Structure 1
Amino acid sequence: MTTVNKLLAAAFAVIALGTSASAEKLRVGMECTYAPFNYRTDAGELAGYDVDVAKGVAEIIGAELEYVCQQWDGMIPALLANKFDLIVASMSITESRLEKIDFSSPYRDSVGRIVGKSDQDLNLFDPSGNPIPENFAGLRIGLERASTYESWFNAKLPDAEIVLYDGSEPLYLDLVNGRVDAIMTNPMKAHLRFLATDEGSGFEFISPAISEVEFFGTGVGIGLRQGQPELKARLDGAIKQLINDGKLTEYALKYFPFPIHNEEWGDS
């Protein structure tokens, strides 16, 4: 190698090191308690579908991640206060949230279902799947605070007695102990975390899947502060690539027996 080539090689090495050292770092907000989407393992490591998505996106856009655990009802205020850069926490894309923040294209479906005792004859929905408001009157319904489920109940079933919780885990405890008559939550999580376990024996879904776009949005996306079109475009491109490469299906099958996204999102 000539002296000139050696100097060029050394220069490129320095540039590469400088690029690596200055790799983009993005802080990611999530609950860290919402298994199987984002939670800590027994070893204290963050895991779950949201974590897999965040890592997959970061690899494609060339970013390093730092995770910040945040209670759900303070998630958007914390993003706006610059406590982190992205929300990757199974947050549904809704019109009300879009007034405050931007979202990437969706990476997961967004639906809700009600869980209650198997032996209850509550007759809560008509044959078309519409709720019967008078049959909800006086029922104690457990919901996570500031969730799409709370918004849906407030608009559709104001006569139900709503009991709000900071996080999803207390919902199941109070349902088992009879402090609430039913809960509404993510059906994928409810199946794995509760209904498929001994703890969930004697309970079942007592509603159809509810996916009204007005309340549940067009899916779950990555939240970011408004005014960052370049970052949003990179996130959108990364999610599309994860869909088309089969990675979102791979992530889902680690926790569920089926994909939890719409394949058509990869064509948009």
Structure 2
Amino acid sequence: MKRIIALVAALSTLIFLFACSQQPAQQAEAPKQDVNVRLELQKASTLEKIVQRGTLRVGLEAGYMPFEMTDKKGTVVGFDVDMVTEMAKAMGVKLEIVNTAWDGIIPGLLSDKYDLIASGMTINQERNLKVNFANPYIVVGQTALIAAQSADKIQTWKDLNNEGVVITSKLGTTGEQAAKRLFPKATYKSFEMEDQAMLETLNGKADATVYDLPMTSIFFAQRGKEAGMKFLNEPFTYEPLGWAINKGDPDFLNWLNNFIVQIRNDGRYERIYNKWFGSNDWYADIQ
């Protein structure tokens, strides 16, 4: 009996010693795994991929004056283009513009066709479910262009919410969302492009177009004022615009936010803003 007890005690001691000898090895492996995970996360950063590739790929839809548009030479120009040009310079890489349709612009980012979206995109919660946004680089809002024959009956934007009023805007934009949300009594008509929506109102086939300032301001100055349209130029929504990137990339997001702060304080932002919003000289070069 004593032998059995002694044998059991000896086996217990061996098992304990074996377990103790294995524990440090297991604990030693854990930090290596953590380091590997951190390295993988760093390798996955879009910022590092851009630098290694030597090219910053930017997705946009050229058709939103003066943010992005095509000039007479076929070159995409505008406020957003100048901003990302400065961004590429700061990274020390080349800039590649990827012109894409608006309804596919977020799917294009998610499928890695470009590194970020810089296309006058309003930051909202619905989009934020799919992408991350850097801090706003400009704030705009919805305004309304009123047809000449409707100028008397529509005095403020609240008058748009009446039966018999026909409102137009661009498909898939915050203008469309605002029109449906704020003016449920009105009839809404959607168009593929914003200029089509505005022409519908200009030609008297709709009462109003709801769309972003300053696009409505440019259209009114160029065509609407002469045609007798009314321009309700006081925005009735708050819409910050931001650059969109894929989720799970804090390094890239941090870089973009710091870039915004830097250019706002070194004169570059003011120079670019005044070029596109302080003057209409650029309009002569647009198709």
Deviations 1:123-174 (A, max 9, x none): 454xxxx7256x4322111111111121122222212111111122212222
Q: For residue 193 of structure 2, give the secondary structure of its aligned residue in structure 1.
A: coil
Contact between 2:143 and 2:233, CA under 8 Å: does it hold in 1?
yes
Alignment-derived partner of residue 121 in structure 1: 152
Alignment of 1:38-53 (within 5 A): 38-53=68-83
Correspondence for 2:220 among 183, 195, 206: 195
Contact between 1:61 and 1:238, CA under 8 Å: does it hold in 2?
no
Alignment of 1:78-117 (within 5 A): 78-117=108-147
Q: Which has the larger radius of gyration?
A: 2
Alignment-derived partner of residue 208 in structure 2: 182
- Cα distance between partner residues in 1 of 2:95 and 2:195: 26
79-88 or 38-47, which deviates more:
79-88
| 2:97 alignment partner AA | Y
Alignment-derived partner of residue 57 in structure 2: 27
> Which contiguous aligned blocks of 4+ residues in structure 1 show a shift greater than 4 angstroms?
none
Q: For residue 242 of structure 2, give the secondary structure of its aligned residue in structure 1.
A: strand
Q: For residue 139 of structure 2, give the secondary structure of its aligned residue in structure 1.
A: coil
35-44 or 153-162, which deviates more:
153-162
Structure number with higher helix proportion: 2
Distance 1:105 1:177, change over 3 A: same
Count of matched residue positions in the alignment of Structure 1 and Structure 2:
228
Distance 1:149 1:65, change over 3 A: same
Find out whether 1:131 has 2:158 as its counterpart: yes
Please report how far the alpha carbon of residue 59 of structure 1 lies from its aligned counterpart in structure 2 after TM superposition: 1.4
Please report how far the alpha carbon of residue 223 of structure 1 lies from its aligned counterpart in structure 2 after TM superposition: 0.6
Please report how far the alpha carbon of residue 31 of structure 1 lies from its aligned counterpart in structure 2 after TM superposition: 0.7
Q: For residue 42 of structure 1, give the secondary structure of its aligned residue in structure 2.
A: coil
Contact between 1:23 and 1:64, CA under 8 Å: does it hold in 2?
no
Alignment-derived partner of residue 252 in structure 1: 273
- Cα distance between partner residues in 2 of 1:122 and 1:234: 49
Alignment of 1:139-158 (within 5 A): 139-158=165-184
Alignment-derived partner of residue 237 in structure 1: 258
- Cα distance between partner residues in 2 of 1:200 and 1:77: 38
- Structure 1 stretches of 5 or more lacking a match? 1-20, 259-268
Distance 1:95 1:22, change over 3 A: closer
Alignment-derived partner of residue 210 in structure 1: 236
- Cα distance between partner residues in 1 of 2:204 and 2:154: 19
Alignment-derived partner of residue 171 in structure 1: 197
Distance 1:236 1:182, change over 3 A: same
Alignment-derived partner of residue 5 in structure 1: none
Contact between 2:117 and 2:245, CA under 8 Å: does it hold in 1?
yes
Distance 1:136 1:124, change over 3 A: farther
Percent of pairs identical after alignment?
28
TM-score, scaled to structure 2 = 0.73
Contact between 2:66 and 2:276, CA under 8 Å: does it hold in 1?
yes
Distance 1:68 1:200, change over 3 A: farther
